[in-house]
């Protein structure tokens, strides 16, 4: 009979998520994961079977958490569309203080996307959900007269997420906050 686990698996996934977010998949060692989670090597492999399994769980957790937050902002029809877009972009300008720089998804797309079709597909599906939601919100704003009907809703949504990705990459290289703010303001002129 197997022994019951004496650790919180979700907390271990969260701790691993931060390590992978900061360091990336390839550069994260098992020792790094042991330090972050407080688990021994055998506990990690017994609970998660492999570094890749733990990485996949951490990436899915991150995507679910951040997508849920973004969707809540996008779908809040009580707020003007320009403000919703500002809030989405502002997360790259003023991230949560304890979060590593950049974005775990963007970092993973750059590192693994070109050589790992499974990861690329997962992240493409996640992106598509947000893109459809923002396109729908922009179309609703157009119907309400907030935006001109001549603007391409899908193109605007794609533009917002492209800018967000760029802001997150710039944050990873320690871009100055005033530069990030200027990019947000320039983007908002489209709204």
Whether residue 32 is contained in a domain is answered as no
Whether residue 44 is contained in a domain is answered as no
pLDDT at 47: 87
CB under 8 Å to 114, separation ≥6 — which residues? 120
Residue ranges, the chain, pLDDT below 50: 1, 3-4
Whether residue 30 is contained in a domain is answered as no
Whether residue 7 is contained in a domain is answered as no
pTM of the model: 0.88
Whether residue 26 is contained in a domain is answered as no
pLDDT at 6: 52
Please compute, for residue 15, the number of CA atoms within 13 A of its CA located in the half-sphere on the CB side: 16
Whether residue 91 is contained in a domain is answered as yes
172: CATH: 1.10.357.10
| Parent domain of 116 | 58-188
> Which tokens sit at 181?
């703010």
Whether residue 129 is contained in a domain is answered as yes
Does an H or E element contain 40, and which? none
Whether residue 50 is contained in a domain is answered as no
Q: Summarize pLDDT for 124-135 with one digit per residue, the tens.
A: 999 999 999 999
Helix, strand, coil share of the chain (percent; to 5): 70, 0, 30
Task: Domain count for the chain, please give it.
Answer: 1
Q: Summarize pLDDT for 56-92 with one digit per residue, the tens.
A: 999 999 999 999 999 999 999 999 999 999 999 999 9
């Amino acid at each position: 009979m197997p022994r019951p686990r004496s650790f919180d698996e979700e907390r271990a996934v969260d701790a691993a998520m931060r390590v992978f977010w900061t360091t990336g998949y390839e550069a994260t060692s098992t020792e790094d994961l042991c330090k972050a989670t407080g688990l021994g090597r055998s506990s990690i492999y017994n609970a998660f079977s492999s570094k890749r399994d733990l990485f996949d769980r951490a990436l899915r957790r991150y995507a679910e958490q951040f997508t849920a937050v973004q969707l809540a902002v996008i779908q809040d029809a009580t707020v003007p569309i320009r403000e919703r877009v500002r809030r989405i972009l502002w997360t790259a300008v003023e991230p949560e203080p304890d979060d590593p720089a950049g974005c775990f998804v963007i970092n993973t797309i750059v590192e693994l996307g070109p050589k790992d079709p499974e990861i690329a597909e997962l992240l493409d599906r996640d992106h598509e959900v947000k893109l459809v939601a923002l396109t729908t919100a922009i179309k609703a704003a157009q119907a309400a007269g907030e935006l001109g009907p001549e603007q391409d809703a899908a193109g605007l949504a794609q533009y917002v997420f492209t800018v967000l990705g760029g802001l997150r990459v710039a944050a990873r290289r320690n871009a100055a906050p005033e530069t990030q703010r200027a990019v947000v303001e320039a983007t908002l002129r489209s709204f």
